[in-house]
Structure 1
Amino acid sequence: MKLSVVIPAYNEEESIGETLHALHAQLVAEQIDHEIVVTNDNSKDNTLSRLQALTREIPTLTFYTNPGPNGFGYAVRYGLERYQGDCVAVMMADLSDDPADLVRYYRKLQEGYDCVFGSRWIKGGRVIDYPGPKKYINRLANTIVKVLFRLRYNDCTNAFKLYRRGTMEGLKPFLSPHFNLTLELPLKAIVRGYSYAVIPNSWTNRQYGESKLKIKEMGSRYFFIMIYCLIEKYFSQGDFRKRETGSSAAAPGPRG
């Protein structure tokens, strides 16, 4: 099973090299067939030139430049239309996500699940240098999602997740142009009946640059996608649900 890793990058010249080298080294050490797909989201710094150099150092790296429209969601979607693997993970360019966790996701997916979601907020999960205000908003938002959708899962808004190709195709069309894509993908997967496992993962605050998430700008966008998925859950009559083609290796719902 070939693993694709889609990474959006905007002004990440300081961190992109360390991120990609660490990711590539981990996947090679685990003998995982893979590709790394980076979308340069029209960066204004030297991210493009760094990527050009890195392709000579990392044989599994491919990159594209998103001509626009730009934004986190658009950049991820650009990569999701171009990856070649049998499954795909979304990771960040700032090394906040641990490549060792990706290996664990991949091994779990091989048990037959449609998706693997991490949680930083369950036993075994870990956060390092998480900003206090951001943590408060994160936990509030995820609690609201848990209550409205009647979930046990508590980390929907984290982008770092793994999906089978067939699952990702089943989540289209994508609606979110910005960070609300991180909520759209797992909620659609859950609402549409795809099976998922939840395992602990870690998160480390970036060492270089600044976060691209602007919380004040994102509230209404997260609310929109949450309401959209809620309407689909209760009023679509199952029109978008996963179509079973035979016996399923894993029943819909979370497994740890």
Structure 2
Amino acid sequence: MTKLSIIIPCLNEEENVEQILNSVTAIVQDTIPNYEIIIVDDQSDDATLSLARKWADVNENSKVRVIYKELHRRGYGAAVKYGLAFAEGEYAIFVSADCVDPVHLMPEMYQLLESGYDLIQVSRYLEKSNSSTIPFSYKFYQFFYRRAVFLSLGQWIPDSTYAFKMFRRTKVLATGLSANRFNISPEIMFKAILSGMKIKFISGSQGTRIGGQSKFKFHKEGIGFGMCLIRAFCHRKRLVYWF
């Protein structure tokens, strides 16, 4: 049985895809049994797909599957949902192809799930030093978003928007994921809380992109993040159910 599915969505990541595969494999190959790595290429315009396939061919024992997403681009959320559809693991995690996630924490996250938790969320705000690499505009937004989350859910959540989380795959899928953009991250967190899952926050810092351009555009993602707040509030108050 596959224990962990590591899903890496890629869109024009030719500068990073080989390095992220090297980094993730080095971390998990001796620490997590029965894992799989799923590269989801979201119709890249560069050499991402061919480089990923070449890496998988050369490293034939690496447990890497490279999937070309045939559906038209819909965003980050659509890409990771596509990966989840092909995943076989009891647990799943999304890893950014741009090498910014603290992948060294994956063995710890895995062990916490094995101990009985349903979702392990890395928070960039539990320790002040961890947020030093985050642009001021994002931290400014997060300051107000965390307070809006408190009003929506009635509890303080240190970090609901960071996509780097490990979770029980079937439990999360059972809530019916609908977001196609980066708001899939708070959607997973809010639905986990509202459904009573056992959640653990651990401290971690987000790195900086090595090559290529970030796909996150604040002005395009704000509406989706706001809709998650409204849906969570309505669900908690039993006005309109989200799932």
> What TM-score do the two structures reach when normalised by structure 1?
0.87
- Which residue does the alignment assign to 1:244? none
- Which residue does the alignment assign to 2:4? 3
Per-residue deviation, 1:157: 0.3
CA–CA distance in structure 1, aligned partners of residues 47 and 234 of structure 2: 43
Q: Is the 8 A contact 1:176 1:225 kept in 2?
A: no
- Which residue does the alignment assign to 1:100? 104
CA–CA distance in structure 2, aligned partners of residues 182 and 76 of structure 1: 10
Q: Is the 8 A contact 2:231 2:242 kept in 1?
A: no
- Which residue does the alignment assign to 2:15? 14
Instruction: Kindly tell me the number of residue pairs found equivalent between the two proteins.
Output: 239
- Which residue does the alignment assign to 1:88? 92
Per-residue deviation, 1:213: 0.7
- Structure 1 residues 61 and 127 mapped into 2: Cα distance closer, same or farther (>3 Å)? farther
Q: Is the 8 A contact 2:149 2:157 kept in 1?
A: no
- Which residue does the alignment assign to 2:197? 194
RMSD: 1.9
Of residues 230-239 and 41-50 in structure 1, the stretch that sits farther from structure 2 once superposed is 230-239
CA–CA distance in structure 2, aligned partners of residues 34 and 124 of structure 1: 33
The CA deviation string for residues 193-222 of structure 1, in whole angstroms up to 9 with x for no partner, is 111111112210111111101111111111
Per-residue deviation, 1:69: 3.0
1:55 correspondence with 2:56? yes
The CA deviation string for residues 57-89 of structure 1, in whole angstroms up to 9 with x for no partner, is 442111211122311111011001110111101
1:154 correspondence with 2:158? yes
Per-residue deviation, 1:237: 9.0
Percent of aligned positions that are identical? 27
Q: Is the 8 A contact 1:72 1:177 kept in 2?
A: yes
> What TM-score do the two structures reach when normalised by structure 2?
0.91
Q: Which runs of 5+ in 1 are unaligned?
A: 241-256
Per-residue deviation, 1:128: 5.0
The CA deviation string for residues 97-136 of structure 1, in whole angstroms up to 9 with x for no partner, is 1221111111111110111111111138724532221222
Amino acid at match of 1:193: G
Q: Is the 8 A contact 1:119 1:125 kept in 2?
A: no
